[in-house]
Structure 1
Amino acid sequence: MVNVSIARRYARALLDVASEAGRVDAVAEQLSAFAQAFAKSPELTDVLLNPAYTRTQRSQVVEGVMKALPGGADPLLASTLRLLVDRNRQGYLPDIARLFGDMADARAGRVRGQVTTAAPLSADALAGIQKSLQQLTQRNVILETRVDPSLLGGVSAQVGSILYDGSLRTQLEEMRRELKQH
């Protein structure tokens, strides 16, 4: 079981240092890319988590992945990743990346959300939904889009823990429940 408080401490420390340097967004982007690289590759994950590999081997793999990042890894991120390997905390990397992103968004007054539609949205429609959600939440909303044909029509948006469901599927389901009651 992963101790999230350890991941939170590393994420907070990296956020504080990146804030002082004015590079929070760049570090967040690179940290996310780094964590995704390991999540997508079972071989890389094995090197990080398997005790059969030495600290030197892990360090070499981490250095190689950092060099593969576009423009190379930010020095702040590089030193944090080296520290994780030195202290055998590399297993916390996915949680650190997630928590760092959440903390950076909170500090910047942003919230992330997901919009699900039955068909792809035009840029204007997405901008309108984003503006409405910003007015509802009083925060800057960054949206990801997803297409799910099972919605039949309408829009379902989740921002933080709040779900705004205006999908045709949900409306039909509510009508079905009401008709069953009568």
Structure 2
Amino acid sequence: MATKLSDEAKVEAYVRALIEAGRSEGRANADLVQWLHACKFSPEVLETLSTMGREHDLALVKEFSKRYKEILDSEDETVSVTVTTAVPMDDALRAKICAKAEADLKAPVYLVERVDPSILGGIVMEVRGKRYDASVRAQLSNIRKTLSSAYVGSGK
């Protein structure tokens, strides 16, 4: 009589299989990064990927992504706004940014949040293909350029 594997044994088997496959292709660490992102996928995304895999259509993932965005953009008035901050946003800041973006864009907003400590502070927003950089890093860069041109152009 076959015994059913425990969840712990299943996890171990899955992990070892993925590590072995990743090592044979020289990408075990890259697979871990992808897995961490995959944990955020909705059940529908996972099922679609699973179906594409069974049908040997994984080579279509890039084209799928492009077409998905095209259809969504043409059929949905929601605007995707990507916001990058140096530290994670709290609920109050998130609500304020959404409210301001929705008022300015006159459309519902889907907020994509990114954290990048290298911007030092402030905010970087990307919307409809345009980038608005109000980060501390950008401000320091502008000050550096201004001082550099003032010094070089001062004639001293």
- Give the one of 97, 109, 124 matched to 1:156: 124
**Which position in structure 2 is the counterpart of 1:126?**
94
Check 1:93–1:71 CA distance in 2 against 1; reply closer, same or farther (3 A cut): closer
Check 1:140–1:72 CA distance in 2 against 1; reply closer, same or farther (3 A cut): closer
TM superposition outliers: structure 1 runs of 4+ over 6 Å: 71-74
TM-score (norm 1): 0.50
Name the SS of the counterpart of 1:120 in structure 2. coil
The number of residues matched between the two structures is: 111
**Which position in structure 1 is the counterpart of 2:149?**
181
**Structure 2: 5+ residue stretches without partners:** 1-17, 22-41, 151-156
Name the SS of the counterpart of 1:121 in structure 2. coil
Name the SS of the counterpart of 2:132 in structure 1. strand
Q: Distance in 2 between matches of 1:152 and 1:108?
A: 34
Give 1 or 2: higher helix fraction: 1
TM-score (norm 2): 0.57
Q: Distance in 1 between matches of 2:43 and 2:128?
A: 30
Q: Distance in 2 between matches of 1:181 and 1:81?
A: 56
**Which position in structure 1 is the counterpart of 2:80?**
112
Q: Distance in 2 between matches of 1:126 and 1:166?
A: 16
Q: Distance in 1 between matches of 2:78 and 2:113?
A: 17
Task: Tell me by how many angstroms 1:160 deviates.
Answer: 2.6
Name the SS of the counterpart of 1:144 in structure 2. strand
Name the SS of the counterpart of 1:180 in structure 2. helix
Check 1:91–1:177 CA distance in 2 against 1; reply closer, same or farther (3 A cut): same
**Structure 1: 5+ residue stretches without partners:** 1-40, 44-68
Identity, % of aligned positions: 27
Residue 62 of structure 2 is aligned to residue 94 of structure 1:
yes
Task: Tell me by how many angstroms 1:142 deviates.
Answer: 0.8
Name the SS of the counterpart of 2:123 in structure 1. strand
Task: Tell me by how many angstroms 1:113 deviates.
Answer: 2.2
Task: Tell me by how many angstroms 1:93 deviates.
Answer: 2.6
Task: Tell me by how many angstroms 1:135 deviates.
Answer: 2.6
**Which position in structure 2 is the counterpart of 1:3?**
none
Q: Distance in 1 between matches of 2:132 and 2:92?
A: 19
Task: Tell me by how many angstroms 1:91 deviates.
Answer: 1.7
Q: Distance in 2 between matches of 1:130 and 1:114?
A: 11
